[in-house]
Structure 1
Amino acid sequence: MNLALWLVAGLLAVIALTGGAIKAFVPKEKLAATPGGAWTRSVSAGGVKTLGVLEILAAAGFTLPAAAGIAPDLVPVTALCWIALMAGAMITHGRRREFRFAALNLAYLALALFVAWGRFGPGAFTG
């Protein structure tokens, strides 16, 4: 169970870091031209960058607290925050009728739900 939780948290960290870096460092106009990026047209450039920074922080939160042994309880808290972020992404893509992206966000949400459940429950870090 512990290995599965580490693998899923690591996968989510890679996903969050990739998506976050793109949102934080790629110009909004270029993002708007990519598949699934049209939503950026209705959000300010600062809003897009803020989401990018939040995703980068999530990438750190999925792995670093447990790896460093400092406040490992932040891992499931990060997973709960990721669930909220993915719910918002699903709503955004759903309203735009971009259902394949909403489905992808649902998959990410489900993975984070597994991490939150596991790390708050049977796979909790013990001190």
Structure 2
Amino acid sequence: MNITLWVVQVVAALVFLYGSWLKAFQYEKARESWGWIKDVPKAFVVFISLVELLGVLGIVLPLATNITPMLTPIVATGLAAIVLFGALFHVKRKEYREIVLNIVLFALTVFVAIGRF
């Protein structure tokens, strides 16, 4: 089970890393790729992406370094909340294609949170 949790943690971290990096540091490219970014203030998009980037570190590093490993499930829970709110945002806007990724990331982060608590 530990190996499965590590694989899920790394996969979730990589998916978050890609999307967050794009939104934070390649904003114009992200804006072209995802239509919803045009309707949200840039500062808010960058803020969320920076929080997600911290989540990328927090879902892997605490447990990997054995420095406050209890942070890993807490961070996974936080990432699950961010993804859930994102899904609700997309439901409101009827952006059903975007929700699929939210559901997958929600499942991965909840799995990590439960498995690591």
Instruction: Indicate the TM-score class for this superposition, using the shorter chain for normalisation.
Output: over 0.9
Q: Confirm or deny: 8 A CA contact 1:39 1:92 kept in the other structure.
A: no
- Residue 48 of structure 1 deviates from its aligned partner by 0.9
1:115 paired residue among 102, 112, 115: 112
Dislocated runs of 4+, deviation >3 Å: none
1:93-119 CA-partner distances (Å, limit 9, x unpaired):
112211121121011101111111110
Determine the structure 2 residue equivalent to 1:125: none
Determine the structure 1 residue equivalent to 2:10: 10
Determine the structure 2 residue equivalent to 1:66: 63
- Residue 58 of structure 1 deviates from its aligned partner by 0.7
Normalised to the residue count of structure 1, the TM-score between the two structures is 0.87
Q: Which has the larger radius of gyration?
A: 1
Q: How many residues align?
A: 117
Q: Which structure 2 residues correspond to residues 14-53 of structure 1 after superposition, within 5 A?
A: 14-27=14-27, 29-34=28-33, 37-53=34-50
Amino acid at match of 2:60: T
Amino acid at match of 1:75: T
Identical aligned residues as a percent: 36
Distance 1:81 1:31 in 2: 23
